């Protein structure tokens, strides 16, 4: 089996969150979706499980943090181009997301940052790996 990642995110309003991620281009997998959870995929390897708080609590006995006031993880999403970074960020903002800071352009890497409606932080980014290696070698 190929390595895959399934990010589990607790959400306060499952239909709102599902609509948000679909606006970003994620595709819902109805096989793993019901009224307590929805699986959406950005690719064959990148999957997000949107879980109601009650469903999320089935997997942990730890308290669910409030991503609007604290952070435990920031999710970076590698994309194919600068334009793709701008496109997904603009879709996120139009769908109810919040821009966290202005774009960062290092020449060999370009990124933006937004929070989803629940406050989960995403950082879409593009990197020219060859230029990045050269930049690091010259440091």
Closest to 23 measured CA to CA, from 93, 119, 80: 93
So what's the pLDDT on residue 36? 98
Q: Are 99 and 84 in contact (CB under 8 A)?
A: no
pTM over 0.85: yes
The pLDDT tens digits of the residues spanning 45-73 come to: 999 999 999 999 999 999 999 999 998 89
SS3 130: helix
Banded pLDDT at 129 (limits 50, 70, 90): confident
Question: Which tokens belong to 10?
Answer: 């607790």
So what's the pLDDT on residue 125? 96
Closest to 26 measured CA to CA, from 73, 35, 106, 9: 9
- CA dist 98 and 92 (Å) reads 8
Banded pLDDT at 8 (limits 50, 70, 90): very high
- Residue-wise burial string across 84-97, b where 16 or more C-beta atoms lie within 10 A, e elsewhere: bbbebbebbeebeb
So what's the pLDDT on residue 134? 76
Banded pLDDT at 130 (limits 50, 70, 90): confident
Which domains can be identified in the chain, with CATH numbers?
1-61 (3.10.180.10), 73-139 (3.10.180.10)
Instruction: Please compute the mean of the pLDDT values over residues 104-108 and round it to a whole number.
Output: 93
Q: Where are the alpha helices (DSSP H) in 4-128?
A: 14-23, 53-56, 82-94
């Amino acid at each position: 089996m190929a390595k895959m990642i399934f990010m589990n995110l607790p959400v306060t309003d499952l239909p709102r969150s599902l609509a948000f991620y679909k606006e970003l281009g994620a595709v819902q997998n109805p096989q793993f979706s019901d009224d307590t959870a929805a699986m959406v995929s950005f690719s064959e390897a990148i999957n997000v499980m949107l879980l109601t708080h009650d469903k999320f609590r089935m997997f942990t006995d730890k308290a669910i943090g409030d991503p609007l006031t604290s952070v435990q993880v920031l999710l970076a999403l590698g994309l194919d181009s600068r334009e793709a970074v701008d496109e997904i960020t603009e879709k996120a903002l139009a769908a109810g997301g919040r821009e966290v800071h202005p774009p960062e352009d290092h020449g060999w890497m370009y990124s933006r940052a937004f929070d989803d409606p629940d406050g989960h932080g995403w950082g879409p980014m593009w990197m020219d790996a060859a230029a990045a290696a050269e930049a690091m070698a010259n440091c």
